[in-house]
Amino acid sequence: MTISETTAFTALAAEGVDTGLSVWPASTRTAPHGELSVGGVALTELAERFGTPAYVLDEGEVRARCRTYRAAFPDADVLYAAKAFLCRAMAHWVEEEGLGLDVCSAGELELAVITGFPPERIVLHGNAKSPEDLATALRLGVGRIVIDSTGEIARLAAQVPAGSRQKVLLRVVPGIAAGGHAAVRTGTDDQKFGLSLADGSAQHAVARVLDQPRLELVGLHCHLGSQISSVKPYLSAVRRLVGLLAGIRRQHGVALPELDLGGGHAVAYRPGEAALDITSLAARVRGELAASCAAAGLPVPRLTVEPGRAIAGPAGVALYRVLSVKRTGGQVFVAVDGGMSDNPRPALYGVRYAPRLIGRHSTEEPALVTVVGRHCEAGDVLASAVPLPGDIRPGDLLGVPVAGAYHLSMASTYNMVGRPPVVAVDEGRARLLVRRESMEDFRRRDIGL
């Protein structure tokens, strides 16, 4: 949350306004008896029509966030990071809003292209691309491939057809620690991604790529991590990467025209949490890039950013039905019909959410409870120490905001529980984007008898 947003949040709370909705989609509206609507559609209606668990995605919120990035970075390329969440409708929305796409696999790439997404506006990256990933990218004419290791250079060059060249970026590890959890900090030398500046791996890889006639090195790429709420790490990355660009020109006589700073822009999952100020990020990064290039005597490269969570996350809401309420050992456990199979992030990263009772108004005082899932794991906890009405009971509907990113994309079929559907809402209409996974799906995949 920015300083201005924090001030507004505090003022609203003082006035008695429901600040619990500050992390919900902007279209969220309250109604009597505890009803909430998103995109003009009541959440209880969606739960009845599509069942629970279910993901609700506000199309208007997705598009508005795309436009915010386009306005903040008018002279840069904005790529939506598909790993956050991808379906054909999502690819269509971001393409219509003028964004490119960042994919990590042949699967994501194929889905985007069959939707009609222009392959030349797609970047493929990943630390361990399979032969199929590379072959698919070359076959479909992907715009850029991000080289992540020295071994990938020769493998990729060998697959490029004779007489053609593939544009590539080189992923550099700038040695910057940033991110909301150790598992998502990717800008340091102690993890699996990229080529280190500190040990000379990046510089060595540059020379090798430039020696490959079928590869065209057009720029550098870095990704510092996820849930970064400060601009400062990005400014440090700009300075270090411009230093490498200057070294490349001195040694090889080449001024690379592109610089990709990745994504990782933080969003607030609970009221009062910090989010990265995109407008400030854009202004300060542009200023630092211009100043650093001027000091090095370099032309300013074209900038690229790759937001994923910051576009999809706040546009999503997860709906659950309460199955049981258990009071034991001084704790209250509220069990719902989903869990770590549809949202593994609390178990993986300790992420905290803010569930809310939907569909009825309670006069009971709130009590701190632990919302747990249905799976056979003690760690299947969706939210701990969260306030819910003291009369919470089976059959109640819970809504969990900021559920649009890394939910379905990371979902599993643990305990053979099918993955939930995705329902889009916009201007009072609801439509199914991704259907619920069924027992018939499981039966068709199992061919063992």
Greatest alpha-carbon pair distance for the chain in Å reads 73
- Was domain 59-310 assigned CATH 3.30.70.100? no
From the candidates 104, 222, 293, 376, which is the catalytic residue? 376
The more confident residue out of 434 and 329 is 434
User: Which amino acid, residue 164?
Assistant: S
- pLDDT of res. 428: 97
The confidence band for 9, taking pLDDT boundaries of 50, 70 and 90, is very low
Q: How far is 396 from 190, CA to CA, in rounded Å? A: 45
* Listed range (9-13, 65-69, 444-448) with the worst mean pLDDT: 9-13
Domain ranges of the chain: 3-57+314-443, 59-310
Q: What is the pLDDT of residue 22?
A: 95
Average pLDDT, the chain: 92
For residue 329, the model assigns a pLDDT of 83
**Tokens 């269509």 — which residue?**
92
Better-scored residue on pLDDT, 20 or 211: 211
**pLDDT band for position 376 (cuts 50, 70, 90):** very high
**Can you give the pLDDT at residue 209?**
97
pLDDT surpasses 80 at 13: no
DSSP 160-226: SPTT--EEEEEEEE-----SSSGGGB-SSTTSSSSEESTTSHHHHHHHHHHT-TTEEEEEEE---BS
% the chain with pLDDT above 90: 84
As a whole number of angstroms, the distance between CA 300 and CA 311 comes to 27
**Predicted local distance difference test score (pLDDT) of residue 11:** 43
- Is 222 catalytic? The answer is no
More confident residue, 410 or 183: 410
The CATH fold assigned to 3-57+314-443 is Lyase, Ornithine Decarboxylase; Chain A, domain 1 (2.40.37)
- pLDDT(12) > 80: no
pLDDT (tens digit per residue) in 148-164:
999 999 999 999 999 99
Mean pLDDT computed over 263-268:
95
Q: What is the pTM for the complete model shown?
A: 0.92
- Asked if 166 and 136 touch (Cβ cutoff 8 Å), the reply is no
Same fold, 3-57+314-443 and 59-310: no
Q: Is 310 exposed, middle or buried (0-12, 13-18, 19+ CB in 10 A)?
A: buried
pLDDT value for 33? 85
Residue 117 binned pLDDT confidence (cut-offs 50, 70, 90): very high
